[in-house]
Structure 1
Amino acid sequence: MSPRTGPGGALGGGSIRIVLADDERMVRTALRVILAAEPDLEVVGEAATGAEAVSVVRELRPDVVLMDVRMPEIDGIRATEQILGSLPEPPRIVVVTTFENDSYVYDALRAGAAGFLLKRAGAEELIGAVRLVARSDSLLFPAAVRGLAAAYGKRQAAAAAPWVARLTEREADVLRLMATGLSNAEMSGRLGVGAATVKTHVAAVLAKTGARDRTQAVIAAYESGFITPG
């Protein structure tokens, strides 16, 4: 049984298990100190290179990975791809970066990262981000994702996105609300339907867009022109 779904996993009511991947020891130490102070967060491993991150994550099966985007051997983008492509129940990956408006960050989101966090973020923001992505119930920093899509989305945009025509009217509404960062409960209130119904629509949106999670679905929405940044 995976740590994500087992008795001690985040989704099973236990602590959120975290791996830190950064080539700077001081950065990893600072992150560990902040996270270890929280009773529901547990740092279970560290990695100093992208290749080491892949190995450590495969061994320890954490719930969340904080991944530096630029590391030796392989970068955070390739490490993200390898992790998500090799595990049946992969962790949620948050890219940690120095620069917000960075093509590397956008490529990491396209590769399947759940979101990104600036290295200058405060302790409260870091802790909140880890808890948010562990729940998998909202979009981390939707305004920043919109900005990245505006800056880099056009280079990836396809001439046509057949999945757009396959969305039902309610699924289209859900995708637009997902892009604003609303949780299932918030979308339920906005649309006047039950939370279980929203969850079903979210699953359908992910299936039709071919997305692994909400972030990828929103990226696809921007790149297709279904949602226009700005």
Structure 2
Amino acid sequence: MIKILLCDDHAVVRMGLKMLLNTDEEMEVIGEASEGDEGIRQAMELKPDVVVMDLSMPHGKDGLSATSELKKLLPETAILILTMHDDDEYLFRAIQAGASGSILKSAPHDELLSAIRSVAGGNAYLHPSATKRLMEEYIGNVNKGDADLFNLLSDREKEVLALIAKGYSNKEIAEKLIISVKTVETHKSNLMEKLQMKTRPELVAYALKKGLLGYGI
């Protein structure tokens, strides 16, 4: 069962989301909040697997600030940003804040359910148009000379990066490479440091750009 906390300033939106998510036998909405500070308090108390976080909440702490603070307090909790803004600035700020994914409020219901399952499983989720733009951004960075960063990676780190891009969890990567989960986490930490990245979605976009999906596996 995926335990979910909803954080949105519109009660009607929360009610609609709760009705939708609770119809799925694998999901349960365990709490609601109308602004960021309340969302953080609820998350600390309820320990949800996923927080569905609205970006634009005019009263109290906004979604980006709450996401950044919550990831420091509960790093294992996945945060899925729910936004009406199909805009690069919001996308990159959400990823930098530590969000596991982003989905538009206009997205179909089944896409929302898939996004929640994805981030709950430790994977990244970006809606298709955002993925395309993110890849284009990193391709642009390659043209500016990030090839040297890639050359810093060991073969094992490249294997781990490829498996992250394929959507494998840390546990699944450990089983596939016959190493411990702690070693996978160390490799992931080293990847982020060498590539100057902070989140899993950034690693996924980088791996896709580098064409690592078939690397050594």
Same fold, TM-score > 0.5, yes or no: yes
Distance 1:93 1:162, change over 3 A: farther
What is the deviation of 1:33? Answer: 0.7
- Match for residue 52 of structure 2 among 45, 61, 66: 66
For the 8 Å contact 1:94–1:115, the answer to whether it is kept is: yes
RMSD (Å) for aligned C-alpha atoms: 3.5
- Match for residue 207 of structure 1 among 174, 179, 189: 189
For the 8 Å contact 1:206–1:213, the answer to whether it is kept is: no
1:134 aligned partner, one-letter code = A
Q: Is residue 56 of structure 1 aligned with residue 56 of structure 2?
A: no
Q: Distance in 1 between matches of 2:202 and 2:118?
A: 16
Aligned residue pairs, count:
200
| 1:60-99 to 2 correspondences below 5 Å | 60-72=46-58, 73-87=60-74, 89-99=75-85
Q: Distance in 1 between matches of 2:135 and 2:15?
A: 32
The superposition leaves residues 123-169 of structure 1 with CA deviations (integer Å, 9 ceiling, x where unpaired) of 21111111111111x331375234136459989xx997986444212
1:81 aligned partner, one-letter code = S
The superposition leaves residues 101-130 of structure 1 with CA deviations (integer Å, 9 ceiling, x where unpaired) of 341221111111000111112221111111
For the 8 Å contact 2:161–2:188, the answer to whether it is kept is: no
For the 8 Å contact 2:78–2:100, the answer to whether it is kept is: yes
For the 8 Å contact 2:78–2:99, the answer to whether it is kept is: yes
The superposition leaves residues 179-215 of structure 1 with CA deviations (integer Å, 9 ceiling, x where unpaired) of 4x54369x98xxxx96244886853442111466522
Distance 1:154 1:38, change over 3 A: same
What is the deviation of 1:81? Answer: 0.9
Structure 2, unaligned stretches of length 5 or more? Answer: 212-217
- Match for residue 127 of structure 1 among 113, 123, 127: 113
Distance 1:154 1:81, change over 3 A: farther
Structure 1, unaligned stretches of length 5 or more? Answer: 1-14
Per the normalisation by structure 2, the TM-score is 0.75
Per the normalisation by structure 1, the TM-score is 0.71
For the 8 Å contact 1:77–1:108, the answer to whether it is kept is: yes
| 1:1-230 to 2 correspondences below 5 Å | 15-72=1-58, 73-87=60-74, 89-136=75-122, 138-141=123-126, 143=128, 144-148=130-134, 150=136, 164-176=150-162, 178-179=164-165, 181-183=166-168, 195-197=176-178, 203-208=185-190, 209-210=192-193, 214-218=200-204, 221=206, 227=210
What is the deviation of 1:217? Answer: 2.9
Q: Mean Cα displacement is larger for which, 167-176 or 21-30?
A: 167-176
2:108 aligned partner, one-letter code = G
Q: Distance in 2 between matches of 1:40 and 1:159?
A: 44
